[in-house]
Chains A and B, each alone.
Chain A
Amino acid sequence: MNIFKKTILTIFASLFLTVSVSADSIRIGTEGAYPPWNAKDESGKLIGFEVELANWLCIYMGKECTIVEQDWDGMIPGLIMRKYDAIMAGMSITDERMKTINFSQGYADEVAQLAVMKGSSLEGMDTPSGINLSLGGSDVKSALKTLTGALAGKTVCVQTATIHQNFLESGDVGSVSIRTYKTQDEVNLDLTAGRCDAALAAAVAFTDYAEKSGKDVVLVGPTFSGGAFGNGVGVGIRKDDTDLLKSFNKAIDTARKQGKISELAIKWFGFDASM
């Protein structure tokens, strides 16, 4: 056997070895760019609420886990293409996504809110402090009407492929001009640069940014939940991986009973966002 053949065989052998090792470990995909849900520290290490929760869930499941980084706009395709086996990336459970993948039970819930720069004309909007789109009713209707009027002709910035983009495109707040970005970081940058009249994301994403950057970003209007905003954040799993879905659901039950989710939520969000 010549050296060339040997090398090729060695490479193949090592490939199979890694596959057989990873068969028992679960790969979890996250974005690492949506603090405090998931982010990276200065050294590039993944940190955040979901990174810690993922490690705990794996302990409860008795499995080895590796956390894989993936850009947000390729998150679901990456799962389907088996680059990882589960998504924990602040991904809300929505009907639209359920057509393609499964979700575990929700482990945490977030509210979305509009943010503007201090001094914006959108400050002081007269709406209830929070609306649940699934409930409907006159409160929701009048709030949406106020928002439609206030946002007419304004540019609202969102991260691409999010519930926030879906909501703005749903027509509930009229036809605002929407600008989409690859990451929440870029949304924040353009909000402070003044290219966006407002931005929509998880309220914690803005408070986290305002705190860390020292910029005058303020939240306005009601907090949103339900409807296009989905039913909490869960673990995304391929449709055919029913066993994995069951073990995640069980692990989340355990984490909830032991108060782990609340503990981590308070650590990262400053309030109990668990569900």
Chain B
Amino acid sequence: MIESLPRLLNATKVTIELTLLSLLFGIFVGVFFALLRTSKNRVFYFISYYYSYIFRGTPLLVQIFIIYFGLGQVEWIRESFLWILLKEPYSCAILAFTLNTGAYSSEIFRSAFETINKGVLEAAKGLGFNKLHIFFKIKLPIAIRQSLPAYGNEMILMLKGTSLASTVTLLDLTGVAKHIISTTFRPVEVFIVAGSIYLIMTFIIHNFIKYLEKKYSYE
């Protein structure tokens, strides 16, 4: 049980990396599609709507399989520049995770944007703020604060979702745990250690979000 710890901790780095990179890219994707969704242009609205519909409506495992094993079978993709990215399991996993968390985040941010009090925006207009100013100085900060609790949830879901990286040959925490089990044949002990590491990480995320919520509370 203890002997497996150093290898599992080492693999935790991969898990953290996958989580942070996907969340980082996912925020941009999420904000982008949230803006499309609140746009008055019907085409933008539908693009955003169906993106979120498809990625929230299918399992992450299926998405990662389609991107990794599926696209790899298509010959013209293998011959295109896309293959540089899609050849590597690491970038395939990041791509799948980003698109998945991006879809959920876009819904979180959209609802946050929609709950902004119209009076605040009118006041800003009255004070002579221009559109960019209003977006960056008023809309975005309020939306971020609004979406913190829901987004914290999404961060935790993404952390646990990265365990699927092991299905495309990546040696993340789950991948290495399975690898150790395949030579020691001790699933219970090793998975308990791996599960505890996940638990510690979700504990950190949970408290980080709680801290932010407090710091940016309205009171």
Contact = CB atoms under 8 A, between A and B. Distances in A.
Nearest to B78: A194
A182 interface: yes
A189 B73 contact: yes
A192 B78 CA distance: 11
Given A181-B169, A193-B78, A73 B182 contact: yes
Contacts of A181: 169
B72 A195 contact: yes
A73 B191 CA distance: 14
B185 A100 contact: yes
Interface in A148-198: 157, 160-161, 179-182, 186, 189-190, 192-195
A194 B187 CA distance: 33
Contacts of A80: 185
Given A74-B187, A77-B187, A182-B167, A190 B178 contact: no
Nearest to B88: A195
A193 B72 contact: yes
Contact of B87 (A76, A186, A195): A195
Interface residues of B, number: 16
Contacts of A186: 69
A161 B78 contact: no
A116 B185 CA distance: 31
A100 B179 CA distance: 16
B20 interface: no
Given A179-B169, A181-B169, A193 B183 contact: no
B60 interface: no
Contacts of B178: 73, 160
Given A77-B187, A194-B87, A161 B182 contact: yes
A96 interface: yes
Nearest to A97: B185
B142 interface: no
B198 to A, nearest CB: 19
A193 B185 contact: no
Interface string B87-125: 101000000000000000000000000000000000000
Interface string A130-144: 000000000000000
B176 to A, nearest CB: 11
Interface in B176-206: 178-179, 181-183, 185-187
Contacts of B181: 73-74, 77
Contacts of A190: 69, 72, 169
20 contacts: A73-B181, A73-B182, A74-B181, A77-B186, A77-B187, A100-B185, A160-B179, A160-B182, A161-B182, A179-B89, A180-B169, A181-B169, A182-B167, A189-B73, A193-B69, A193-B72, A193-B73, A194-B87, A195-B72, A195-B89
